[in-house]
Amino acid sequence: MTLGTRIAWDDTVLPFQLDASDIRGRVARLDGVLDEVLAQHDYPAPIEALVAEMALLTALIGQSIKLRWKLSLQVRGNGPARIIATDYYGPTEDGQPARIRAYASFDPDRIAEGVAPFELIGKGYFAILIHQGEDMTPYQGITPIAGGSLTTCAETYFAQSEQLPTRFSLTHGRSQVPGEDASWRAGGIMLQHMPKASPHVEDGGSGEDGLLDAADILDADESENWSRVNLLLDTVEELELIGPSVSPSELLVRLFHEEKPRVFDPQSVQFGCTCSDDRVRQSLSIYSAKDIETMTRDDGTVTADCQFCGAHYSFDPKTLGFEAEDAPDAEA
């Protein structure tokens, strides 16, 4: 079997628990999904790498939160990579796939040759937003951009905002085999210490700029378990995370057989965008007729493009805004 061939565990997230260590986790594979996410745009290689890393983090974090609505990850910086945004939509019914979408906003003229992708973000913040429903205020947690990677930012977020020791090991890239198109392969593992109580840290943490680290949260026994499992995770090889020969469940046995791994039902994932004519209209409903007039093109239409999937929408300005003269059905 070649790397370009689709395999059974592509585009899935497998939840697991290590019973001997009180640690839970996820194994994710994003292959076809990542191809579709990145095919929507023509990103330079370092921006593709940032989007791929964010999409993989989103799949792992989203599946760990039992939600029926949406989880969003956002990175905003003052560097050439201004925004990296991802959404994870939980399945609406049992047995249905989750959906992921992602996009990046960047300044191509400021991307220097040979600069590491993470350095393109500059100073800014990493945010996680949990949306529980259309009429509910989303939860938002923010941590500064620090630590050298988006993965470290996510680990810091969980330590700082949730006080949950969390570790990720990710890899991604394009594979090319003779006779087949190049395709994306991405895989990762998330570990998280199961909470027993609500820890409280009086002083600053031991991480960068005083941010909390796992060692600041765990007691002696928990810290020993956490360190042992992390040492085992350090032995994982890239090909084990993205290759065709080792299934996620087999990988867990290879890495953590003495920790008594127990797996649960896998969650399938697919690319999915929720943009629509009605949603765009709703987003424009806050504007007056004068505002709509400033948005109207020379050809007499108002247009909008979805940042996630590139869908193009065109409207009669008379049907838009809270002072709309005509109903949408009146459009030609």
Q: Report DSSP letters for 265-292, one per residue.
A: --EEEEE-----HHHHHHHHTTS-HHHH
Tell me the average pLDDT across 4-24.
85
Q: Examine the pLDDT at 320 and tell me if it is beyond 90.
A: no
For residue 92, what are its two tokens?
A: 């609406």
Q: Examine the pLDDT at 4 and tell me if it is beyond 60.
A: no
What is the per-residue pLDDT for 3?
Answer: 40
Q: Examine the pLDDT at 80 and tell me if it is beyond 70.
A: yes
Rounded Cα–Cα distance for residues 85 and 304 (Å): 18
DSSP 68: S
- pTM value? 0.84
What is the per-residue pLDDT for 329?
Answer: 64
Q: Examine the pLDDT at 106 and tell me if it is beyond 90.
A: yes
pLDDT tens across 118-144, in order?
999 999 999 999 987 777 777 889 999
What is the per-residue pLDDT for 289?
Answer: 87
Q: Are 13 and 266 in contact (CB under 8 A)?
A: yes
Burial of 31 (C-beta count, 10 Å sphere; 0-12/13-18/19+): buried
What is the per-residue pLDDT for 2?
Answer: 37
Rounded Cα–Cα distance for residues 98 and 87 (Å): 10
Least confident range from 61-75, 103-117, 230-244, 315-329: namely: 315-329
What is the per-residue pLDDT for 79?
Answer: 96
Mean pLDDT score across all residues of the chain: 86
Task: Please indicate whether residue 299 or residue 200 has the higher confidence score (pLDDT).
Answer: 299
In which element (H, E) is residue 98 found?
A: strand 98-106
Q: Examine the pLDDT at 184 and tell me if it is beyond 50.
A: yes
Tell me the average pLDDT across 233-247.
92
What is the per-residue pLDDT for 158?
Answer: 92
Where do we find the tokens 């929408």? Answer: 313
What is the per-residue pLDDT for 167?
Answer: 96
Least confident range from 163-172, 202-211, 271-280, 321-330: namely: 202-211
Q: How many CB atoms lie within 10 A of CB 152?
A: 18
User: Which domains does the chain show, CATH number per domain?
Assistant: 12-271 (3.55.30.10), 277-330 (3.90.1280)
Q: Examine the pLDDT at 246 and tell me if it is beyond 60.
A: yes
Task: Please indicate whether residue 262 or residue 331 has the higher confidence score (pLDDT).
Answer: 262
Rounded Cα–Cα distance for residues 273 and 216 (Å): 39
The Cα-based distances of 147 to 28, 112, 155, 267 in angstroms read 23, 21, 10, 30
Q: Are 35 and 183 in contact (CB under 8 A)?
A: yes
Task: Please indicate whether residue 15 or residue 9 has the higher confidence score (pLDDT).
Answer: 15
pLDDT tens across 185-198, in order?
999 999 999 876 54
Rounded Cα–Cα distance for residues 322 and 313 (Å): 19
Q: Are 164 and 25 in contact (CB under 8 A)?
A: no
What is the per-residue pLDDT for 30?
Answer: 93
Residue 219 confidence class, pLDDT cut points 50, 70, 90: confident
What is the per-residue pLDDT for 332?
Answer: 42
For residue 104, what are its two tokens?
A: 């990046």
Residue 1 confidence class, pLDDT cut points 50, 70, 90: very low
Q: Examine the pLDDT at 22 and tell me if it is beyond 80.
A: yes
Candidates 136, 158, 141; CA nearest to 69 is 136
Least confident range from 82-91, 196-205, 310-319: namely: 196-205
Q: Can you give the C-alpha Rg of the chain in angstroms?
A: 22
